[in-house]
């Protein structure tokens, strides 16, 4: 510690356990979704300029790059949702914090079950060359 | 830790913010997930167009839905980013500056988004 501050490396070292990775990924995915939301609001604004302007704006999304970005967005939204609910449940019933590791693994399983089918749905048209 | 004293405004505002994150989070779980599945997997990005949005916003239901989703998502996200700033930005000046920018950007985005959802009129562009 340097003067009570946590340096980046110390931050990474902090406990270093499963719960820290779950927390770090929660932050990262949250900021990612927020960044997309900002872009999404700006692109929606083009609706007010008419069909040509809006269709031109969203044509940027219709590319392989954004199809991959969409998978990342799905990952972020699903992870943030499942992990957020886990934290909320534990917050309202603090006795459950004892079972945090089990809860993290359970939420990871729910996340995988939800994410994998949607990721496949995104990858298939990409493989078929539709983007 | 002494150096953190006063860094985090504890008290009423933080308690309300904490509760807001959890309540809006639960609502967003349902609303954002539904939005994602319908708009990205039901209708795909390839099919999305001005006409599709005009159709969706023809009635009040999806307009209201999108308005509520916009507000909850934006303020849930903005408050999350505020907490992140509080965690990593120590200097008072930088914290004030970054938080001010965050709040300003959020309010501007909310106004733009709300204005579009409420006032959008596809008939203006009908040929």
DSSP string, A70-89: HHHHHHHHHHHHHHHHHHHH
Q: Above pLDDT 70, what percent of chain B?
A: 91
Q: Report chain A residues whose CB lies below 8 A from the CB of B48.
A: 58, 61
Q: Report chain A residues whose CB lies below 8 A from the CB of B78.
A: 34
ipTM: 0.89
Neighbour-count burial of B39, counting CB atoms closer than 10 A to its CB (0-12 exposed, 13-18 middle, 19+ buried): middle
Report the pLDDT value the prediction gives residue A18, as an integer from 0 to 100.
87
What residue ranges define each of the domains in chain B, with the CATH number in brackets?
A: 10-119 (1.20.1300.10)
Q: How far is B117 from chain A (nearest CA, A)?
A: 9
- Give per-residue pLDDT as tens, B26-83: 999 999 999 999 998 888 888 999 999 999 999 999 999 999 999 999 999 999 999 9
How much is the average pLDDT of B12-39? 94
Could B109 and A125 be called an inter-chain contact, meaning their C-beta atoms sit closer than 8 Å? no
- Give per-residue pLDDT as tens, A50-97: 999 999 999 999 988 998 999 999 999 999 999 999 999 999 998 888
**A124 vs A109, which has greater pLDDT?**
A109
- Give per-residue pLDDT as tens, A91-108: 999 888 889 999 999 999
Report the pLDDT value the prediction gives residue B3, as an integer from 0 to 100.
41
Q: Report chain A residues whose CB lies below 8 A from the CB of B4.
A: 4
In this structure, the number of other CB atoms found within 10 A of the CB of residue B6 comes to 9
On whether the CB atoms of residues B54 and B122 are closer than 8 A, the answer is yes
What residue ranges define each of the domains in chain A, with the CATH number in brackets?
A: 17-127 (1.20.1300.10)
Please state the φ and ψ torsions of residue A49, each to the nearest 5 degrees. -95, 0
Q: How far is A102 from chain B (nearest CA, A)?
A: 21
Report the pLDDT value the prediction gives residue B6, as an integer from 0 to 100.
44
DSSP string, B27-81: HHHHHHHHHHIIIIIIS-TTT--HHHHHHHTTSHHHHHHHHHHHHHHHHHHHHHH
d(CA A43, CA A45): 5
Q: What is the mean pLDDT of chain B?
A: 90
Could B120 and A45 be called an inter-chain contact, meaning their C-beta atoms sit closer than 8 Å? no
């Amino acid at each position: 510690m340097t003067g009570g501050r946590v340096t980046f490396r110390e931050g990474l070292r902090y406990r270093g356990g499963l719960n820290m990775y779950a927390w770090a990924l929660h932050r990262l995915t949250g900021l990612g979704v927020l960044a997309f939301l900002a872009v999404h609001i700006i692109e929606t604004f083009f609706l007010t300029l008419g069909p040509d302007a809006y269709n031109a704006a969203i044509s940027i999304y219709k590319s392989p790059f954004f199809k991959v970005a969409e998978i990342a967005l799905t990952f972020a939204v699903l992870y943030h949702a499942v992990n957020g609910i886990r934290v909320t449940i534990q917050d309202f019933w603090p006795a459950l914090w004892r079972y945090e590791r089990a809860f993290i693994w359970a939420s990871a399983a729910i996340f995988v079950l939800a994410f994998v089918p949607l990721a496949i749905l995104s990858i298939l048209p990409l493989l078929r060359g539709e983007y | 830790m002494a150096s953190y004293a006063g860094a985090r405004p504890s008290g009423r505002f933080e308690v309300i913010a904490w509760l807001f994150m959890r309540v809006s989070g639960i609502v967003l779980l349902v609303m954002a997930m539904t939005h994602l599945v319908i708009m990205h997997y039901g209708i795909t990005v390839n099919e999305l167009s001005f006409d599709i949005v005009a159709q969706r916003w023809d009635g009040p239901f999806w307009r209201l839905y999108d308005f509520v989703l916009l507000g909850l998502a934006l303020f849930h996200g903005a408050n999350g980013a505020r907490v992140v700033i509080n965690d990593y930005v120590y200097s008072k000046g930088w914290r004030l500056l970054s938080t001010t920018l965050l709040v300003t950007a959020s309010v501007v985005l909310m106004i733009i988004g709300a204005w579009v959802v409420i006032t959008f009129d596809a008939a203006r562009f009908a040929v």
